[in-house]
Every structure is written in structure tokens, then in C-alpha cells.
Structure 1
Amino acid sequence: MIEVMIVEDDPMVRDINSKFLERIDGFKLCAAVASLDNARKYITIKKPDLILLDVYLPNENGIDFLKWIREKNIDVDIILITADKSIDRIQEAFRYGAVDYLIKPFNFERFKEALLQFKSRHEQFKKNQEIEQPDLDRLISNPGAIPQSDDFAKGFNKYTYQSIWNEIEAHHVGDFTADVLAEKLGIARVTVRRYLEHMEKEKKIKKQVEYGKVGRPQFRYHKL
């Protein structure tokens, strides 16, 4: 279970982000605090794996907290969640090791994408002592995970695509069905099937037809 601390002074936003987190398997909220003083205290007690960090806090700046974490050599990853859209701030965040940057307001799909991307890297790094370049490239940039064709742009949402693909990569070594993915991700079954058909055309997955004694045939998929 990945332990997460939320640092956000707005109680409504803090509550929304906490509820978003509850909807994603594999994550547990260990603390939700409104100030950097409390964040510094809890980070030594709770030792979270990930911090969802706001930039604008009363008389404080989340980037200063990020710098303090790096100065203290604390092993924790940071996702910035903020209304700050300035390029200078974004560059500064990444220079000090932020793994993602969400600009408010954002939807659940984008939040989920950030968490699942982190989870994929976290699990890979935790179970492997070494990694080959192609696997590292995929974890860093996830090349090819989101197609850029015109057909994709016209008919699909890249964050929904990414959520489905992340779930397939993380949890489905053998066969799986659209129904299983739909239930796991909270996405309509008809939507999941449409994305799976698209992935099959990209030759990322293969579909098999399973005929039962009664009812319609069931489609099963596996990753190539």
C-alpha cells in the first residue's frame, strides 16, 4: 500500500483530493495537513511514500517545502497540485524532483493518471534491483502509451486511454475482460470495450472469443 500525505490549506480541496485518493486502489491516506509546519512534523512520523503538495499556502510556499525535503535527503516523492501556471514555477518544481504537476482545476481522470503513473514506477523500482533501458524508457516517458493519431484525437480521451492502459500493464498478466476493467476503473463497460478495440488495432492487445453454452459469446483480451 502506498502511503500518501496531502498538504493543502483549503479544507474543501483537501477533502476532494482525499476522496479522489480513496477511489484508487493501492493508495492509503496517512495524513492530510493544512500547513508546512504540520507537514514537517508528520513527514518524520508517518514517513509517506508520496506527498500531494499545494504551492500556495498561508505565508508559506510549497516549493520551499520541496527544497527542504531534498536538503534533508528525505526519501519521498512529490506531486504538485496548484493553481500556479507559471513556467518558472513548473520548471523549478521539476528541477527539485517533482514527479508530476497538476494545475487546478483538474478532473478525476487526470488525478488518477498521475497516481497510476507513480504507482507503476514505484512498484517497478521496489521489486527490481536493476532495470533495462527499454523498461526504464517506458517508465519515464511511457512512449507509445497514448497514440497521437488524428483518429485517436477525434474519438478518444487520452486520460481515459491512459487509465485503462495503466490498469492492463499493472495488473493483467493473463486474460482479462472489459467488464473486469470497467468495474475496477469505474468506467462504463461500453466505453472500455471501445478503447480495447482501439488497442487491439494498435496490436497492443489481442482479443479472443469465448463461446458459452448460453447467451452471447464473451470477449477476452491479453496484452501482447
Structure 2
Amino acid sequence: MSHVKPLSVVIVEDEPHLAGLHREFIEQHFHLRVAGIAGTLAQARHLIEQHQPRLVLLDNYLPDGQGVTLIDDPLLKRFECSVIFITAASDMQTCSHAMRSGALDYLIKPVFFGRLRASLERFMLLVQTMSQMKKVDQHALDKLFNLPVGDAPAAPSTKGIETLTLTRVKAFFSDAPDSSWSVEQVVEKVGISKTTGRRYLEYCVEIGFIGVEMQYGNIGHPRRLYRKIAGT
């Protein structure tokens, strides 16, 4: 076990369940410690000032403003803090602002843990390179700015996916190609449990059969809706 003190991370996310999932994943798979979770920009600035983290996982839609404004805050530059956006904001203006201001990565919700893992691995590689190398060569730079050459994206896991059930789920979406459905509606119509439904829906998203839409209401958190992708 490493005796080096784990790097500090602050999560800025106003959905407590999602923030908890990210915290668990980070601390299970990386030598990182989540110093705190902020649900607002004000809380985020306080935690960053207090803990001086090396990494911030940043949502954009927060109760007191947009997270993208935080990336320009001198506070982050003072502590040499990297930022990974994890947000439902898919407009080019927000994405462009984040990347031009130096975001390490930009992940659009819902995020698969394989994609989050790749982003965190890139952060860890950046930290390692900065601490061990006085000069970098082209190979090291290529690894920092891109996926390693020759590394193909991992194929979607078929573990727990049974052909007959998958066919029923696909048929449900094919019968209503222009409709969007919640997970509760899908499991009721197909006749499967919610746990099973989530697994099959995630698999169908991974293989590009259905897409995810975020529905924002006046009260509460956004709902995830699933719709068949045209041409599949």
C-alpha cells in the first residue's frame, strides 16, 4: 500500500446521490481523497480555500449560478487545481468556455464509469508526469493530451445481458421510435425489475441503440428519459 498522502478532491454537485456515487468510485479506484462535497458555488469556494484540492469535479447547473464561472476564479489557479466537468450542459458555448479556460476534461451526464475512469487516469498521469519529469518528450505529451495510440475503446460488457430480454427491450423502443420513456415506464411495459431495466438501458445506450435526454421541471432534479436513436 502506498504511504504517499492521497491527493485531495472536491466534488461540486447538487445531486447528493450522484455526488456520493462519484465519491465512492474515486476513493475505491484511485489514490485520491474526497475532501468535501459542495452543492453550491459558495460552498465550493469555501471548500477549495479550506482544502486546496488538486482536482475539482464540477457540475454546471447549481442553485446559485453556473459552475463554469468557477473555472476562471483565481482561487483555482492559486492552488494549481485541475477541473473535470461532469454536467448535463451540452451547449457548445459552455463546453468551449470550459475548455478554453483550461478544463482537463468535459463529461456530459449521464456519465459511464468507464469514461470517468479514463478522465481520472489522465489526471493521475498528469500529476505523475509533472512530479517526475523536468522535460517531456512527444510520447509523454501524446499520452497527456490524447488516449494512448492504439488503445481502442473497450467494447460494452455483455455480462448479465440475456438475448431474449434484450430483444424485448429493443422491440419496445422500436415500436415507439419517436417517444421518450423513463426507466419506470420501460420496466412496467416490458415486465422486468427496475434493477434489470437499468442494466439493459445502460447497455443499449453503450451500443448506441438508444440515447438519453434530460427533462428539467420546475421542481426537483432532472429526469433521465430514453429514446431510440434514428437509424438503429
TM norm structure 2: 0.60
Contact 2:48 2:75 in 1 (8 A): no
Structure 2 counterparts to residues 1-224 of structure 1, below 5 A = 1-69=6-74, 73-147=78-152, 156-157=154-155
**1:80 aligns to what SS in structure 2?**
strand
Shift in Å, 1:145: 4.1
Secondary structure of 1:30's counterpart equals strand
Query: What is the DSSP-based 3-state SS (H/G/I as helix, E as strand, rest coil) of the residue aligned with 1:98?
Result: coil
**8 A Cα contact 2:49 2:75, kept in partner:** no
Shift of residue 79, structure 1, vs aligned partner: 0.2
Cα shift at 1:158: 8.3
Give the gaps of 5 or more residues in structure 2.
1-5, 158-232
Does the CA contact (< 8 Å) of 2:53 and 2:79 recur in 1? Answer: no
Q: Deviations over 1:96-130 (max 9, x none)?
A: 00001111101111111111111111111112222
- 8 A contact 1:2–1:26 mirrored in 2: yes
The corresponding residue for 1:177 is: none
CA distance in 1, matches of 2:28, 2:78: 31
**Pairwise CA distance, 1:138:** 2.4
CA distance in 2 between counterparts of 1:46 and 1:34 reads 16
- Number of matched pairs: 152
Equivalent AA in structure 1 for residue 120 of structure 2: L
CA-based RMSD: 2.1
**Whole-Å separation in 2 of the counterparts to 1:115 and 1:157:** 19
Task: Provide the C-alpha distance between the structure 2 equivalents of 1:98 and 1:117, rounded to a whole number of angstroms.
Answer: 12
CA distance in 2, matches of 1:70, 1:14: 22
1:66 deviates by: 0.9
Identical counterparts, % of pairs: 30
